[in-house]
């Protein structure tokens, strides 16, 4: 039974992830690290840094793709808002397969909200482009938070006093990863090969050194 040619939607499985699970102590430093208006990553304490791995794992779990059943269920629910599509069962199945293929990479909770948002403004069944556009802000925010947590962890790894005493210096690959994350987040701090930090000029997209930190 195809959700585009029937008025009986499938039940979708509940959302498996919630940002409320992130530790409260990470709220402010993560807001600073993931918010482009700040442009820097704060150095967190060892206690706060210890909460990052679990928080990062939770956020990464929140990026899990939607299943075929979840997308079919969403389409069935939204289809109730519109007149039945005048297509053959074969055409409806092909359309469903395309929606699944082109939307499956979006996490289910974000996709569900995007379907609802698109349906509120569309007079016709939402297109893939409309749904993806509606999902983009929440998806981008979650990715920024993942990068923000990585940035917090990497800065603590490089500059935290206890970390420096207890661990070996970061490798060239780790420093390269830190610089790449900082660049994506619009953060001006960069690390040299020896682990020292410096700032690039504000608005400089070439990542040229401006001053030693």
How high is the pLDDT of residue 185? 77
What is the tens place of the pLDDT at every residue in 82-117? 887 788 889 989 999 999 999 999 999 999 999 999
Q: Which of 168, 209, 191 is nearest to 41 (CA)?
A: 191
Tokens 């206890």 label which residue?
162
Pick the most confident of 11-25, 73-87, 188-202: 73-87
Residues 187-210 have a mean pLDDT of: 68
Q: Find the range with the poorest average confidence among 135-139, 151-155, 206-210.
A: 206-210
How high is the pLDDT of residue 202? 63
**Whole-number percent of the chain with pLDDT over 70:** 78
pLDDT range class, residue 157, cuts 50, 70, 90: confident
What is the tens place of the pLDDT at every residue in 22-75? 888 988 888 887 765 545 788 899 899 999 999 999 899 999 999 999 999 999
* Average pLDDT across the chain, whole number: 80
Contact, 62 vs 142, CB < 8 A? yes
Q: What is the pTM of this model?
A: 0.73
**Whole-number percent of the chain with pLDDT over 90:** 37
> Number of C-alpha atoms within 13 angstroms, CB side, residue 189?
24
**DSSP at 20:** G
How high is the pLDDT of residue 13? 47
Residue 192 vs residue 158, higher pLDDT: 192
Residues 6+ apart with CB under 8 A from 82: 124, 125
């Amino acid at each position: 039974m195809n959700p585009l040619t029937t008025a009986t939607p499938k039940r979708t499985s509940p959302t498996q992830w919630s940002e409320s699970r992130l530790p409260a102590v990470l709220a402010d430093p993560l807001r600073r690290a993931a918010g482009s208006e700040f442009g820097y990553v704060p150095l967190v304490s060892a206690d706060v840094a210890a909460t990052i791995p679990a928080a990062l794992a939770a956020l990464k779990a929140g990026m899990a793709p939607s299943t075929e059943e979840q997308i079919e269920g969403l389409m069935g629910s939204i289809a109730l808002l519109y007149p039945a599509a005048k297509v053959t069962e074969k055409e409806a199945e092909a359309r469903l397969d395309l929606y699944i293929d082109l939307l499956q990479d979006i996490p289910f909770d974000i996709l569900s909200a995007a379907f609802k948002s698109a349906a509120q403004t569309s007079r016709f069944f939402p297109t893939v482009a409309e749904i993806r556009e509606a999902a983009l802000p929440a998806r981008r925010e979650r990715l920024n938070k993942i990068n923000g947590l990585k940035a917090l962890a990497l800065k603590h790894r490089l500059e935290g006093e206890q970390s420096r005493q207890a661990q070996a210096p970061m490798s060239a690959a780790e420093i390269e990863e830190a610089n790449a994350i900082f660049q994506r987040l619009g953060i001006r701090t960069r690390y040299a090969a020896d682990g020292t930090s410096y700032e690039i000029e504000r608005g400089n997209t070439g990542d040229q050194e401006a001053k030693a930190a």
